[in-house]
Chains A and B, each alone.
Chain A
């Protein structure tokens, strides 16, 4: 156990030396995006809500690097703050769905029998619901505040995380070292924390990346439909929607945020792909 520190270092070194060019660029881009999200208020050249010009969809200039939006606000500043909102929501959603999904999945696998059967049945039933429909029904009833959006999408995601976490844990529960722990008289919770969790970290990290991407795409789609983030708040999806008219003016105002969403998602997927290949773990491709 005293070599743990050393192990971590060599593990990290190992990871870095195995980086493919694609994975390297993706990680750099993701770090950049996260930094932009963190420091958005200080990075934005203007206040994102301030109307700077009375010309809609002004072409990019030395003052407004990406031009103005439909109300004459600085698109770059709005893009930067949109990245912040989108990342914040997606992170909240993914953390919540993992907390619930992994917890329930591990419990189901560790206890097995009736507990497992009950939770799995309920989960299967929820999976028979197209996720967008579930979201639309809840938003119809409760409106679309940040809290409703995060809880609803996290709930939808949870059903997918549960399946992955349970499958991983079921495979670990039959290992000799778990049997040894059971014979030693360790409790279920101890086994989950000390045997199942450490042995499923890499595939879970990959799944986290997949769910994070999915959360970004889902929330963007909802905002694009006008049912997600509501003005004056705006995420990347709102920016695409509210500037749709720009296309008719021959400007690319709403393509910038759309491409930003895609770039974040692509980087995350490339990173996850690399992580999965590296750990030779397999996750189901279903969403």
Chain B
């Protein structure tokens, strides 16, 4: 199969997955006991107000029509209005503006974490894999085994205790003011980024290590060892090209941890990002916001997996040079 066909097939599967995800998000938020209008109004539900809210939210349409309208609006970037500020005025906050603002903050947090965690964990994973069972490997494996057992919030709680409460070097809460310059941002981001880095570092290190060990034990590498290729050349010229696919896969998989990590860390530090927005929305049953946030998180996840698969296809010599 040629590369183009493989990639277009993968793209098609990606689009189908996104559609499936959207159906699940929509259906999942619609399986409420009662309907959305009841959930919004709660105690304040009178027949008149219910009818008004149903009209406003378009709840009188059949389910499949509502789904298609919702999906088309989503694709156009129209996420509707938040219900939290719905109140009597029926004029909720525009979700899209809010998403843009908080999405940027979350990108900053997740992006800085990825920039630190990805190279670091690949380096450490490679170091451990060079001599499996050696001292360095045993130390790194033990530490990472402990770290993957930590709940997402533990490292952050410990960091806050030490650096914010005891030493008073950094703020314990990462609230954002418009007046912040670059250094203020760095100051508030250090602890959340460090906490988040630890939550994904260990997973990535372990996966990189086992991916590289897998490659190193392949017949091709054995052949190279028997030919007498020097160690350094062996790793860089022979092992690394074969390990690119698996390693990219590892990075993509860790986005799942990064997503749940972002949600926990943002809530813990009161950081004004998408994760906290979603938790608040779930707490308040703010359904349009939950739908929008879930769609964004899931789409990012699906798209990153898609990109990683495409890179894996491109980096596989057997696919690039078909017989």
Interface size on A, residues (CB 8 A): 45
Bound complex: CA A221 to CA B302 (Å): 23
Residue B151 CB within 8 A of the other chain: yes
Residue B279 CB within 8 A of the other chain: yes
Bound complex: CA A49 to CA B188 (Å): 37
> In the bound complex, do residue A247 and residue B157 qualify as a contact, i.e. CB atoms below 8 Å apart?
yes
> In the bound complex, do residue A128 and residue B294 qualify as a contact, i.e. CB atoms below 8 Å apart?
no
Contact with A along B139-158 (1 / 0, CB 8 A): 00000011011111110011
Q: Which of B27-35, B74-82, B87-95 is near enough to bind chain A?
A: B27-35
Nearest CB in chain A: distance from B125 CB, A:
11
> In the bound complex, do residue A269 and residue B298 qualify as a contact, i.e. CB atoms below 8 Å apart?
no
Most buried by A among B30, B151, B298: B151
> In the bound complex, do residue A130 and residue B151 qualify as a contact, i.e. CB atoms below 8 Å apart?
no
> In the bound complex, do residue A265 and residue B150 qualify as a contact, i.e. CB atoms below 8 Å apart?
yes
Residue A123 CB within 8 A of the other chain: no
The answer to whether A125 and B17 touch (CB under 8 A), given A141-B31, A255-B158, is: yes
Q: Which residues of B contact A240 (CB under 8 A)?
A: 151, 153, 157
Q: Which of B145, B151, B203, B279 contacts A226 (CB 8 A)?
A: B279
Q: Which residues of A contact B290 (CB under 8 A)?
A: 136-137, 140
Residue A227 CB within 8 A of the other chain: yes
Nearest CB in chain A: distance from B158 CB, A:
7
> In the bound complex, do residue B157 and residue A140 qualify as a contact, i.e. CB atoms below 8 Å apart?
no
* Interface SS of B by simple majority: helix
Q: Which residues of A contact B263 (CB under 8 A)?
A: 132, 136, 225
Q: Which residues of B contact A265 (CB under 8 A)?
A: 149-151
Number of A-B contacts (CB under 8 A): 137
Residue B287 CB within 8 A of the other chain: yes
Residue A248 CB within 8 A of the other chain: yes
Residue B193 CB within 8 A of the other chain: no
Nearest CB in chain A: distance from B304 CB, A:
11
Bound complex: CA A224 to CA B268 (Å): 9
Bound complex: CA A248 to CA B302 (Å): 40
Q: Which of B150, B161, B257, B294 contacts A137 (CB 8 A)?
A: B294
Bound complex: CA A254 to CA B152 (Å): 14
Q: Which of B18-26, B42-50, B51-59 is near enough to bind chain A?
A: B18-26
Nearest CB in chain A: distance from B299 CB, A:
10
Q: Which of A128, A141, A227, A255 contacts B21 (CB 8 A)?
A: A128
> In the bound complex, do residue A130 and residue B206 qualify as a contact, i.e. CB atoms below 8 Å apart?
no
Residue A134 CB within 8 A of the other chain: yes
Residue of A nearest to B290 (CB): A140
Q: Which residues of B contact A268 (CB under 8 A)?
A: 149
Binding site for A on B (CB under 8 A): 17, 20-21, 24-25, 28-33, 145-146, 148-154, 157-158, 160-161, 164-166, 172, 203, 206-207, 210, 253, 256-257, 259-260, 263-264, 267-268, 278-279, 281-283, 285, 287, 290, 294, 297-298, 301-302, 305
New A-B contacts (4) at CB < 8 Å, excluding given A138-B28, A262-B154:
A129-B24, A224-B267, A227-B282, A247-B157
Q: List 5 A-B contacts (CB under 8 A).
A: A129-B24, A140-B290, A240-B157, A247-B164, A250-B166
Binding site for B on A (CB under 8 A): 125, 128-134, 136-142, 213, 217, 220-221, 224-227, 237, 240, 244, 247-248, 250, 252, 254-255, 258-259, 261-262, 265-266, 268-270, 273, 285-287
